[in-house]
Amino acid sequence: MSKISCGIALCIPLIFTIGCTSNSSTTTGSSGTSSSPSTSENSAQGAIPIGIGVAQTSNVALLGQEEVAGAKLAEQYFNEKGGINGTPIKLIFQDTGGDEAGAINAFQALISKDKVVGIVGPTLSQQAFSADPIADRAKVPVIGPSNTAKGIPQIGEFVARVSAPVSIVAPNAVKAALKINPKIKKVAVFFAQNDAFSKSETEIFQQTVKDQKLDLVTVQKFQTTDTDFQTQATAAINLKPDLAIISGLAADGGNLVRQLRELGYKGTIIGGNGLNTSNVLPVCKALCDGVLIAQAYNPEYPSALNQSFRKAYQAQSKKEPPQFSAQTFAGVQVFVEALKVLDRQSKVSKKPLAELRVALNQQLLKGKYDTPLGEISFTPEGEVVQKDFYVAQIKMDADGVNGKFTFLK
Amino acid sequence: MTLTLFLQNILNGLSVGSVYAIFALGYTLVFSILGIINFAHGAVFTLGAYFTYILMGGAFGFNGLLANLKLPIALPFALAVLLSGTLSGLVCIAIERLAFRPLRRRGADPLLTVVSSLGVAFIIVNLIQYLVGAETYTFPANTYGSLPAAVNFGTTENPIPIRTVQIIIFGVSAVILTGLTYWVNATKYGKAMQAVAEDPVTASLLGINTDRFIVFTFFVSGFLGALAGTLVGSSVSIAGPYFGIGFGLKGLAVIVLGGLGSIPGAVVGGLAIGIIEAFVPSEFSAYKDAIAFAILFAMLLLRPQGLLGRSQIQKV
């Protein structure tokens, strides 16, 4: 028996080890699904390499795949428009997986092996806190496409983001809920405690609840990997809240919405930014109906660029572009437009890489960009300055299978 | 703690625990005959859920090689589960042939077989992702007909709601436990399986085709894995290709707690861990897994044979 016990005891670290190895191997293995030409090939073709380090695998891949779609559309769009004054851009994809180690590996590969001029990524704030300092030390500009936690631009001078911080976006949803139902008094808050972004977001939500003089009756915690929320849901329902606010990711957040409704919760539900994806719809299906989510992107934003982006996305995916795709598109756009300005001063393809990376970082912080998100610019620290925010409500079709985000006036 | 909250936690624990139990039964079966944990079981569990989903006429999303695939026919749920179980059983037979048998024939260390099964698990998971992407797939709302979403075990003032699907999983675990226990102890095949588990060489000298029984055990384990994956998927959606991996780790704690190779032990272990987790206050919910594995270590130290295991392991 002792042999068996030892065997089991040995197996547990083994699983974790192999689990980790798998993540890093999928990072490098992602070359199967991505294009990773060498620097020499790039220079031979004359293309400017821009790195995309997002989660193509793991449970975060739901979001990462949306980002990949947005980046690819940007590459196609800007190359059709002539790239960097005639020189095409080439996106190099490295899979970060869903954890910090994967993000670090992907960033190192993009910086040292693929020799990119800048990186759009990673998917999660949690990953950004680990991987961005590596790019910052190597003086490679990073644009976070979906990192909304507090403190991201403060990681270093080479770190910026196009994703508006949660402190600006999140309170809009609570205000919209109160506008729809002014009788809301009791609020239950749920958040994924193993995710830096969700923790950061819930603090903002909880502060907003207090600022609006509402009664925070319970704060329930879960993990992004959880699937069963019966304990948290029933604990909250027993306190009879009028509003439930969820900060998590699509799969866990969607499941929580579903289980809250199935267990009899009838009040309003607000989803955080992690639920801000149509990938949440297949999870809670008809029960997603009515969920309110604050938005940094509206597909109906009337600019010509956004409508081209929307049309291209719809042609490919038969649905409205999600926020993460639009933000990644905007991230690539910022690099392209900043490179264009530099290229007009002196040909960027002839510049030494280290010099180009530093110049690119300085230039991108100076510009104003008309992106699918609307007009954006950056503070000297790298924080995005965005004009318009929205609140959307999920409306499911009668069949309970398809649905869409309808924007509240 | 009020009585309502206590009962709610017990029922929550039983419903979550039955999910762990139904998963751990697949581990137990293979362990009982080979003395090895088949880590590919989590991947087969996931695969079975996807099989049932597609056989029911579910359409895939826009990622992966099978993007937008929808079969022209849509089978009723019961038939889809049976077919999915059969397909997963066949996959498990292939796993036995490719990852287990060659190593067994060479008399390799059991640890190598464990590593081999882990390798198979990651191949299957990555293959699923390549084929259907990482999206979440949810079974239709009417999978279980017009049953209500939840049943209230309390009163209107003090409700104790439990989701219907969890009650179904609990019922199915109980039926499988009874069926397997009867089959192993009261049928000729079950007794032959016990003989193979006890000593394959002697069993083979007695005229029992040991390889056939091993293959059969893998088939049953695959079938149960698919059934479990489908039931859990219908409860919480198929949350991507990595869906079964988390259950794999928890299943390990369950079988050690219950007693390695013991069928009732898998069920008791599952329910025990489910109930313990349900009583973990939500502010400590991040440590639920740590608590499950702390129990595992404590059990290894205090009672290595588990709750229902015997010091001289009785396999099957």
**Position B181, amino acid:** T
Does residue B20 belong to any structural domain of this protein? Answer: yes
On chain A, the residues whose CB falls within 8 A of the CB of B35 are: 4
Q: Structure pTM?
A: 0.73
Chain A stretch 202-221, residues whose beta carbon is closer than 8 A to a beta carbon of chain B: 219-221
Containing B97, the helix (H) or strand (E) segment is none
Classify residue A98 by burial, with Cβ atoms within 10 Å: 0-12, 13-18, 19+. Answer: buried
Structural domain that includes position B80? 3-134+164-302
Average pLDDT over every residue of A359-370: 96
Task: Tell whether A40 lies on the interface with B, counting CB pairs under 8 A.
Answer: no
What's the pLDDT tens digit per position in B163-182? 898 899 889 888 988 898 89
Q: Is the distance from CB of B126 to CB of B241 less than 8 angstroms? A: yes
- The residue of chain A nearest to residue B109, with distances taken between CA atoms, is A7
- Choose among A9, A251, A258: nearest Cβ to B300: A9
User: What is the distance in angstroms between the CA of the first residue and the CA of the last residue of chain B?
Assistant: 40
Strands (E), A96-195: 119-120, 142-144, 159-161, 186-192
Residue A403: the pLDDT is 87
The H or E element containing residue A375 is strand A374-378
Alpha-carbon Rg for chain B, nearest whole angstrom, is 20
Contact A255 B239 (CB under 8 A): yes
**Alpha-carbon distance A22 to nearest alpha carbon in chain B (angstroms):** 8
Predicted pLDDT of residue A399: 82
Looking at chain B, how many residues does it have? 316
The answer to whether the CB of A372 falls within 8 A of the CB of A330 is yes
A252-295: pLDDT as tens digits: 999 999 999 999 999 999 999 889 887 888 889 899 999 999 98
Whether the CB of A167 is below 8 Å from some CB of chain B: the reply is no
Size of interface A-B (CB pairs under 8 A): 167
Which residue carries 């239950």 as its tokens? A188
**Which residue from A55, A20, A18, A19 is spatially nearest to A34, judged by alpha carbons?**
A55
Predicted confidence (pLDDT) at residue A59 exceeds the cutoff of 90: no
Percent of chain B scored above 90 by pLDDT?
A: 26
User: Are the Cβ atoms of B304 and A58 closer than 8 angstroms?
Assistant: no
Q: Looking at residue A37, what is its pLDDT? A: 38
Tokens of A159: 């770190």
Q: How much is the pLDDT for A45? A: 58
Residue B110, min C-alpha distance to chain A (Å): 9
Which domains does chain A carry? 33-164+304-378 (3.40.50.2300), 168-295+390-407 (3.40.50.2300)
Which pLDDT tens digit goes with each residue over A178-188?
999 999 999 99
- Cα–Cα distance for residue pair B314/B45, rounded to 1 Å: 26
Q: With CB atoms and an 8 Å threshold, state whether B135 touches A279.
A: yes
CB contacts, 8 Å: B234 with chain A: none
Most A-contacting residue of B135, B164, B273 (CB-CB within 10 A), to test interface: B135
pLDDT bracket for residue B248 (50, 70, 90): confident
Tell me which chain B residues have a C-beta less than 8 angstroms from the C-beta of A262: 149-150, 163
Compute how many other C-beta atoms are within 10 angstroms of the C-beta atom of residue A315. Answer: 9
In the prediction, which pLDDT does B246 show? 78
The answer on pLDDT for B312 being more than 60 is: no
Token pair recorded at residue B168: 């179904």
Which tens digit of pLDDT belongs to each residue from A162-175? 999 888 888 999 99
Give the best-scoring range by mean pLDDT among A145-154, B27-36, B292-301. Answer: A145-154
- Chain B residues close to A313, C-beta within 8 Å: none
In the predicted model, is pLDDT for residue B236 greater than 90?
no
The segment with the largest mean pLDDT, out of A328-332, B114-118, B134-138, B170-174, is A328-332
Question: For residue range A322-338, what is the model confidence (pLDDT) as tens digits?
Answer: 899 999 999 999 999 99
Per-residue pLDDT, A102: 94
C-alpha to C-alpha distance for A280 and A195, rounded to whole angstroms: 17
Task: Give which of A2, A3, A4, A257 to mutate to test B binding, by max B Cβ within 10 Å.
Answer: A4
CB contacts of B297 in chain A (<8 Å) are 9
Question: Does A11 sit within 8 Å of B286, measured CB to CB?
Answer: no
Residue B150 has its nearest CB partner, among A7, A264, A316, at A264
Q: Does A96 lie at the interface with B, CB-CB under 8 angstroms?
A: no
The answer as to whether B144 is a domain residue is no
Residue B255: what residue type? I
Write down the mean pLDDT value for chain B: 86
CA distance to partner chain B, nearest, from residue A255 (Å): 6
pLDDT value for A237: 92
Is pLDDT at A384 greater than 90 in this prediction?
yes
- The answer for A 249-278 residues in CB contact with B (under 8 A) is 250-252, 254-255, 258-259, 261-264
The answer to which of A10-14, A311-315, A353-357, B80-84 has the lowest mean pLDDT is A10-14
Q: Which band of pLDDT confidence, cut at 50, 70 and 90, is reported for residue A6?
A: very low
Higher pLDDT, B105 or A5: B105
pLDDT grade for A26, boundaries at 50, 70 and 90:
very low
Q: Which chain A residues are Cβ-neighbours of B8 within 8 angstroms? A: 234, 238
Q: What is the mean pLDDT of residues B137-154?
A: 85
> What are residue A238's phi and psi, to 5 degrees?
-60, -20
Residue A27 has pLDDT above 70, yes or no: no
**Cβ neighbours for B105, distance < 8 A, ≥ 6 positions apart:** none
Beta-bridge partners for A403: A396
CA A252-B231-B129 angle, 5° bins: 60
User: Are the C-beta atoms of B136 and A258 separated by less than 8 Å?
Assistant: no
From CA A322, how far away is CA A299, in angstroms rounded?
8
Looking at residues B13-19, what average pLDDT do you find?
86
Interchain CB distance below 8 Å, B282 and A232:
yes
Evaluate if residue B78 carries a pLDDT over 90: yes
A62 to B15: CB separation less than 8 angstroms, yes or no: no
* pLDDT above 50 (res A98): yes
Contacts of B245 in chain A (CB under 8 A): 19
pLDDT for position A39: 36
Provide the residue type at A149 as one letter: A
Residues on chain B touching A318 (C-beta within 8 angstroms)? 62
Closest Cβ–Cβ partner in B140, B256, B285 for A222: B285
Give residue for tokens 């919209």. A176
Tell me the CATH number at B247.
1.10.3470
Asked if residue B33 belongs to a domain, the reply is: yes
- Given a cut of 80, is residue B62 above it in pLDDT? no
In angstroms, the CA A334 to CA A368 distance is: 9
Residue of A10, A234, A254 lying closest to B8 (CB–CB)? A234
Whole-number percent of chain B with pLDDT over 70: 97
Any domain includes B100: yes
In chain B, how many domains are there?
1
A387 or A145, higher pLDDT: A145
- Cβ atoms < 10 Å from Cβ of B36: 20
Angle, helix A323-345 to helix A304-317, in steps of 10 degrees: 130
**How many degrees, rounded to 5, is the angle at CA A165 between CA A159 and CA A169?**
160
Supply the pLDDT for residue B46.
95
For A251, the closest of B150, B240, B248 (CB atoms) is: B240
Question: Strands, E, within B227-291: which ranges?
Answer: none
- Separation in Å, CA of B286 to nearest CA in chain A: 6
Closest chain B residue to A227 measured between Cα atoms?
B236
Tokens of B201: 């060489």
pLDDT at A14: 40
Q: How far apart are CA A96 and CA A241, in angstroms?
A: 38
Q: Per the CB < 8 Å rule, is A286 touching B260?
A: no
Highest mean pLDDT (candidates A140-149, A275-284, B148-157):
A140-149
The DSSP 8-state label assigned to residue B64 in this structure reads S
For chain A, what is the mean pLDDT? Answer: 87
